């Protein structure tokens, strides 16, 4: 793995950094520019990476990951513009389109736009990637390598699809945690000790996802195998349908996808 510089060392950068180190990258081959002192201290203590307060102190390795909030990206890109040569820029910012980032970077074109997710920390992430047709195979494979080190990858050939990827797998862990929290709380409401309810909810999620991944069966088939005629699951699923949970999930993904496109529109208007 190449040496890599992260600009922004918050939640998502920390997840990727943790995964990279777990997969064998030397902490000293990773530098992070992070304005927040607490976040810097945590990154040093947790991972032993090199941290800097601002861009002017950074070496800027040939592989750069932009991991600041979308709203901070125009300013960060403007500060980077004069320092880029053959660098490969990997953006993880939700919504921000390659053409806009390239413009903010002063015309720099070696960019791969990606959408990872936080399970990268335990090397169980999944990332969507997009590169403009002009980006060479070497740049694509370097970007892929960094994300493959922390999980699976899928390429999309139409940039607008990254809005859907963001809504499904970028934001997705939050939906899953929401469901786990709800399942745990429901268990407690049924009289289980909190610790027991958490263990049941977590292992059920893990086990069901592992079964779906490893069996290769359709999730609907696996669901039917749990659902005995006239039994408990049938009643539970009917209650989920009656509460509109399936529709709610559809609406959540649609809203998140729309927000991704909206972020691109709002920030893309900036010069
Ligand atoms: N969290 C997630 O699950 C995912 C996030 N993303 C994307 O990753 C990016 C980062 O998100 P996330 O990690 O959640 O956000 P965080 O707010 O946790 O991290 C961003 C960090 O960058 C710091 N920062 C702000 N300005 C600068 C600057 N000029 N130079 C260096 N550091 C700076 C922030 O400091 P301060 O807080 O003081 O401003 C903050 O610590 C976003 O663009 C998001 O869309 C993508 C996939 C999933
Ligand atoms: O909530 C967000 O905007 C970011 C992008 C995907 C996950 N977190």
DSSP string over 192-234: --HHHHHHHHHHHHHHHHHHHHHH---HHHHHHHH--TTSHHH
Rg (CA), the chain: 21
Which of 236, 232, 208, 231 lies closest to 220 in space, CA to CA?
208
Q: What is the ipTM of this complex?
A: 0.99
Beta strand extents in 109-163 (DSSP E only):
111-115, 125-131, 151-155
For residue 2, the model assigns a pLDDT of 80
The dihedral through the CA atoms of 73, 79, 82, 88 has a sign that is: negative
* Cβ–Cβ < 8 Å for 64, 105: no
Q: Measured from the CB, is residue 93 less than 6 Å from ligand 1? A: yes
State if pTM tops 0.80: yes
271 CB contacts (<8 Å, ≥6 apart)?
103
* Phi-psi domain of 191 (left: phi exceeds 0; alpha: psi -120 through 50; beta: other): left
* Cβ–Cβ < 8 Å for 235, 243: no
Give the Cα separation of 140 and 56 in Å (integer): 27
Q: Which domains does the chain have, with CATH numbers?
A: 4-158 (3.40.50.720), 172-258 (1.10.3730.10)
Closest ligand 2 atom, residue 260 Cα = 3
Q: What is the pLDDT of residues 156-204, one digit of tens each?
A: 999 999 999 999 999 999 999 999 999 999 999 999 999 999 999 999 9
- CA 173 to ligand 1 centroid distance, Å: 17
Q: Measured from the CB, is residue 67 less than 6 Å from ligand 1? A: yes
Closest ligand by atom to 163 CA? 2
Q: Measured from the CB, is residue 166 less than 6 Å from ligand 2? A: yes
Closest ligand by atom to 31 CA? 1
For residue 271, the model assigns a pLDDT of 75
For residue 25, the model assigns a pLDDT of 95
Residue ID of nearest Cα to ligand 1 atom 23: 8
pLDDT in tens, the chain (271 residues): 789 999 999 999 999 999 999 999 999 999 999 999 999 999 999 999 999 999 999 999 999 999 999 999 999 999 999 999 999 999 999 999 999 999 999 999 999 999 999 999 999 999 999 999 999 999 999 999 999 999 999 999 999 999 999 999 999 999 999 999 999 999 999 999 999 999 999 999 999 999 999 999 999 999 999 999 999 999 999 999 999 999 999 999 999 999 999 999 999 998 7
């Amino acid at each position: 793995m190449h040496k890599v510089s992260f600009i922004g060392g918050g939640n998502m950068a920390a997840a990727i950094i943790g995964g990279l180190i777990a997969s064998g990258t030397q902490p000293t081959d990773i530098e992070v520019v992070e304005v927040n002192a607490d976040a810097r201290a945590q990154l040093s203590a947790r991972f032993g990476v090199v941290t800097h307060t601002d861009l002017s102190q950074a070496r800027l390795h040939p592989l750069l990951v932009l991991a600041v909030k979308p709203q901070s990206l125009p300013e960060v890109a403007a500060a980077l513009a004069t320092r880029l040569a053959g660098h490969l820029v990997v953006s993880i910012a939700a919504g921000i389109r390659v053409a806009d980032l390239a413009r903010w970077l002063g015309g720099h074109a070696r960019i791969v736009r990606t959408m990872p997710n936080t399970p990268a920390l335990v090397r169980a992430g999944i990332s969507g990637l997009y590169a403009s047709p002009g980006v060479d195979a070497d740049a694509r494979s370097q970007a892929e390598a960094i994300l493959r080190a922390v999980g699976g990858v899928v390429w999309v050939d139409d940039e607008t699809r990254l809005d859907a990827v963001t809504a499904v797998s970028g934001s997705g862990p939050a939906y899953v945690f929401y469901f786990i929290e709800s399942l745990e709380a429901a268990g407690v409401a049924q009289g289980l000790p909190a610790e027991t309810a958490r263990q049941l909810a977590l292992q059920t999620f893990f086990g069901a996802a592992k079964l779906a991944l490893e069996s290769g069966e359709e999730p609907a088939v696996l669901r039917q195998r749990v659902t005995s005629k006239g039994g408990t699951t049938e009643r539970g699923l009917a209650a989920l349908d009656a509460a509109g949970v399936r529709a709610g999930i559809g609406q959540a993904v649609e809203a998140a996808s729309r927000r991704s496109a909206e972020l691109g529109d709002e920030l893309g208007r900036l010069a």
